[in-house]
Amino acid sequence: MDDDFTQAKAKEQKDKMKLKRLFAAKKELTAKIKLLEEQNERLVDAEEELSEELMVANAKIRDLTAKAQDVHDNGVPMDALISDVAELGRKRQEVDNLRVEVEVLREWKREHLEIEEKYLAAKNTITRFEIRVEEMAARQEECEDAKEKWDELEIALNKSENITVPDVVARCSEMKQKIVSLEQVNRRLEEENNRMKKSLELSSDQSKLIEENISLQNKTERLQAEVELLYASRKETREMFGSISTEKGLPESVAECVLASFDSIAQKIDALFQEKMDVLLKEKLVVENELTSCQKTMKEMAQRIETLEGRVNMGEFNPAKTKALHLRINPSNTANTRELLMKLRESEEGLLPGTDSAPAPSSRGGALSSSSLGENPQVKAILRRMKTKHDSELDLMKRKFRQKISEFRMAVYWVFGWRFDAESETGPKKRRYRLRSMFSTDGDVLVLEVGESGSLELLDSDFGKKMLEGLPGRVLQESGSIPAFLGQIILDLK
């Protein structure tokens, strides 16, 4: 029994470390979300700057059109027009650069939304895991009650001779029925958990595919529109300048110089655009690698959570390798009981010669005097040895019971974060417990009372009223679950 308890305690410590790692991963995701929010703010600022630049470019285009009309009508010199065309080329280049940056920031925003969805899914999974852990704690309490009943049965069997074998068999059958009912509840919880997992996986995959398709279509249409607008503006500028130069009779060298400047500006713009595209592709590869690592981390977290949920559904032990003594009939206790019965029979057979050698009752007396049997030294020695042995066994069982109860309370405190202190009974079949979290102060205590039917009632206290008014109170009203209520209090106190 000590080895099994030590193994169970080691598994609980491992699961606690896994839960800490899950919380650490949760903090990392929160930091990444904050970074993406900052990038989103920069995106908004860049969009505002882009709108301002577009307004300035449109004003420049209008001015250029007006000047071209003046050249066409009044014969204004071409120097101002050439400088305005060059300025327009620079402005268009700046606008294209800003558009590229806006596209990058929008891509980061979409990735931010995807990571936020994954973070919410992981948070929901952790919440479901904590609820399962609380349910497991309740089942462990029921199993502990069954173990206490079994221990009481053993103590009564060692102390009294009135308990017979049929009584032991009847109590064992009751315990078996209770164990069967607990296993059925465990199976139902496992089936419900599997259904929830399948539904969540299907919905998340379908929504991701739809969002990716829509984003790709929008990006393609936007790029096509911008490219068409750019080439149309270039063609219109060249045609307008050609018509102006033909009407005004400009020298061919000037026209060729201006057209060559247009071509060089276009080449520079294309080169800058290609350079920016190369930089963006490199950044895209970096982001894709980070996204792949995040997805891998999320898969590992999901596998760990699934493993922990499986252990919770199995009762925190593997029934194929571990024997839970409080859920099965203990063969060692049965062997000890049989050995004790054999010793009692042997002692009875040893007492029979003493009764045969005792004087026969007189014709007037009815039965044999009890003092004659009590004065037998052999009988006294046997009874003294039996009493000493029973007292030592009882003291050993009391020490073991106190030790295991203390270890179990410490395990509950470190795994679930709550310290349970039992108070005296307040009435017939009513018990009261005080619960204090490891994250709360000395005065923050919840008081629960267990009724005759096993129902739990939260008594009035300052800390209890404070929790009922906040989010834990809403969780208790919606779910009606004390474990979920305690889990939400732990999250709020952290």
Residue-level pLDDT, tens digit, the chain, 494 residues: 456 556 666 776 777 777 777 777 777 777 777 777 777 677 777 667 777 777 776 676 677 666 666 655 665 455 655 666 667 677 667 767 777 777 777 777 777 677 777 767 767 777 776 676 677 667 667 667 766 766 666 666 565 444 444 554 555 566 666 666 666 666 666 666 666 565 555 445 445 545 655 665 565 566 556 656 666 666 666 666 666 666 666 566 655 666 666 666 667 666 766 676 677 677 767 777 777 777 788 788 778 777 776 666 655 555 566 555 554 456 677 788 888 888 888 887 777 665 555 555 444 444 444 454 455 677 788 888 888 888 888 899 999 988 888 888 888 888 778 787 877 666 666 778 787 787 777 667 777 777 777 676 777 777 777 777 777 777 766 766 777 777 777 777 76
Paired tokens of 33: 């979300």
Distance CA 415, CA 13 (A): 8
Q: What is the pLDDT of residue 1?
A: 47
| Backbone dihedral angles phi then psi of residue 336, each to the nearest 5 degrees | -65, -40
Dihedral angle sign, alpha carbons of residues 452, 398, 417, 11: negative
Note the pLDDT of residue 68: 63
Q: Where are the domains of the chain?
A: 2-313, 417-494
Q: Which CATH class is domain 417-494?
A: alpha beta
The DSSP letter of residue 377 is H
Cα distance between residue 411 and residue 481, in whole Å:
22
3 state DSSP class of 439: coil
| pTM to 2 decimal places | 0.25
Give the per-residue pLDDT at 441: 72
Please choose, from the candidates 457, 450, 462, the residue with its C-alpha nearest in 3D space to the C-alpha of residue 485.
457
| Burial grade of 5 (CB within 10 A; 0-12, 13-18, 19 or more) | middle
* pLDDT on residue 366: 44
What is the DSSP code (8-state) at residue 430?
Answer: B
